[in-house]
Structure 1
Amino acid sequence: MTVKITAQMVKELREKTGAGMMDCKKALTAVNGDMEAALDFLREKGLSSSASKADRIAAEGTSYIHVDGNEAILIEVNAETDFVAKNEGFQKLVKDLAEHLLATKPATIEEAHDSKLANGLSVADEISNAVAKIGEKLTLRRFEIRTKTDNDTFGPYLHMGGTIGVLVVLEGTTDEQAAKDIAMHIAALNPKYVSRDQVPAEEVEREKKVLTEQALNEGKPENIVAKMVEGRIGKYFEEICVLDQAFVKDSDQTVGAFVKSTGGTLKDFVRYAVGEGIEKREENFADEVMNQVQGK
């Protein structure tokens, strides 16, 4: 009796092995739906190699920017080691993914994984195939797409080959160098917002509360604490708002003043630092090599 291969069966096998969707379906079909036999089938074919890497930490990798006319994308793809991040195959994968995602514009990372490439494979399957070839866990972590008009300018900047990626949208000017200079500044100083009006009110109030307590703990009279807090909150905005920061290429003026001198307006920016927020595993390199030698 022929067993019907369901999408749930394919999903289960894929989760167990990390193999591509089509490979899982072929394996289940070949063994008439027997899950254990399908696992062996994939192992024999060498297609389940990515499964053993599923629990590894991929905190290295690269960011990449692809610009196509009035559209641009900033993408981050992670690998386990910096060595693989420099691999030609890995870099081609990142470039291909960026071009595909900008063309198809998925709304979420889940949609991105399910979207089909020109070769008929899903993004998830393409990454699984790359894992098998390259030998490390690889993940498409995030992406942001931005648009502009012919009167605006993108400022793309990749620091040290992509360890930090910044994409700036400068409206009302076509000064590409100015846009890139702003992107370099953002890479260096890591602001959170464009301007003060973007900072959520609750974040400002929380900071004011902390600053008030600090001033009171310093023994300052209550009647001057409020003025002190207003002065210090200005310093806080200088730390988190790019327009308030001293421009790295000319500390005598703020970024806001520099932007104004271009005749444009800083509309938006996206900044990725590769691996930020991912808890990196701390391992002794010598022990890791010994474990590999001993087959652990």
Structure 2
Amino acid sequence: MTITANLVKELREKTGAGMMDCKAALTEVKGDIEAAIDWLRKKGLSKAAKKAGRVAAEGLIGISADGKSGAVVEVNSETDFVARNEQFQDLVTKVTALAKEANGSVEELLAATFPGKSITVEDQVKELIATIGENMSVRRTAKLEVPEGVVGSYVHSQVAPGLGKIGVLVALESPGKNADELATLARQIAMHVAATNPVALNIEGVPVETLEREKAILADKNQGKPPQVIEKIVASGMKSYGKDNCLLEQAYIHDPSKSVAQAVKDSEGKVGGPIKLVGYVRYALGEGIEKKEDDFAAEVAAAAGTAS
């Protein structure tokens, strides 16, 4: 299989490894990106194996949270210039305000009536595309809700109220009467999520295939050792994985001496009742969308010795 410059570029962006190492990995596994990531990790060459994908698309993340429910929306544009446009920001704000009723469905959100007009959100987006002359899309949306408690939020790199580059919702269930204290805790945890980007709430929430992959990598890196030793190394590695990647087990950024779970437990006295962190949503602008970069592609082509 021919290892193209674009393939090398994709692997480098996902792992942070050098171009020639990426080419070697892809050659070894016949172009399989996921297998190449594992190959680099086993060789100790991957600098950012956890990275989900380069954040490249422009636009804005919109957050709307009020009491027991909240919603988040990503609306993309081609350039950051348009993302700073007041018309675009107004679009995202109004679309976000409708998102709770869409219950996480982009289709329902696009079909909703745009505020102040007798047209759908989808048609309003098309109108703005025609006006501004740049492609836009409502890419995704999610909703969190609790029967009692609060859904808190945090927007990073905020450009206008509720609009920014990273948006987080955190749902806390609690019968506690101190709503202000609970809301403060939810916001602080949302800030933590924005900073750490956990894989899941707890180890049970991590996809089985991800855990099996981690175990296989640990086992491969320790080949030649007795089976019982490898078993202990893998078990220890899984505990470390949980502390690094699972929200409840992570060291709390506001007090690293505690885990997030401990911080939640310690807040129960102030809130006036038990607290359960039941869910979170984190959207980073352009997550998983690749944006063409001609100069870098040319650099990769030169190093890989192939044309795109």
Aligned length: 223
TM alignment of 1:39-58, pairs within 5 A: none
Aligned to 1:52: none
Task: Output the TM-score relative to the length of structure 2.
Answer: 0.68
Aligned counterparts of 2:114 and 2:276: Cα–Cα separation in 1:
36
Aligned to 2:168: 166
> Post-superposition shift, 1:135?
2.5
> Post-superposition shift, 1:204?
2.1
Aligned counterparts of 1:110 and 1:197: Cα–Cα separation in 2:
30
Larger Rg: 1 or 2?
Answer: 1
Give the letter for the 1:176 counterpart: A
2:243 equivalent to 1:245: no
Contact 2:153 2:187 survives alignment (8 Å) = yes
TM alignment of 1:18-167, pairs within 5 A: 59-102=57-100, 104-105=101-102, 108-118=105-115, 119-149=117-147, 151-161=148-158, 162-167=164-169
Greater RCO, 1 or 2 (C-alpha within 8 Å, sep 6+): 2
Aligned counterparts of 2:210 and 2:287: Cα–Cα separation in 1:
21
Contact 2:150 2:186 survives alignment (8 Å) = yes
| Secondary structure at the counterpart of residue 169 of structure 2 | strand
Aligned to 2:238: 233
| Secondary structure at the counterpart of residue 170 of structure 1 | strand
Instruction: Spell out structure 1 runs of 4+ moving beyond 4 A.
Output: none
Aligned counterparts of 2:67 and 2:195: Cα–Cα separation in 1:
27
> Post-superposition shift, 1:283?
4.0
RMSD between aligned residues: 1.8
Task: Output the TM-score relative to the length of structure 1.
Answer: 0.71
Aligned counterparts of 1:245 and 1:68: Cα–Cα separation in 2:
27
Aligned counterparts of 1:68 and 1:252: Cα–Cα separation in 2:
31
| Secondary structure at the counterpart of residue 139 of structure 2 | strand
> Post-superposition shift, 1:140?
0.4
Aligned counterparts of 1:240 and 1:276: Cα–Cα separation in 2:
18
Unaligned runs of 5+ in 1: 1-57, 285-296
Seq. identity, %: 39
Aligned to 2:272: none
> Post-superposition shift, 1:157?
0.3
Aligned counterparts of 1:231 and 1:107: Cα–Cα separation in 2:
37
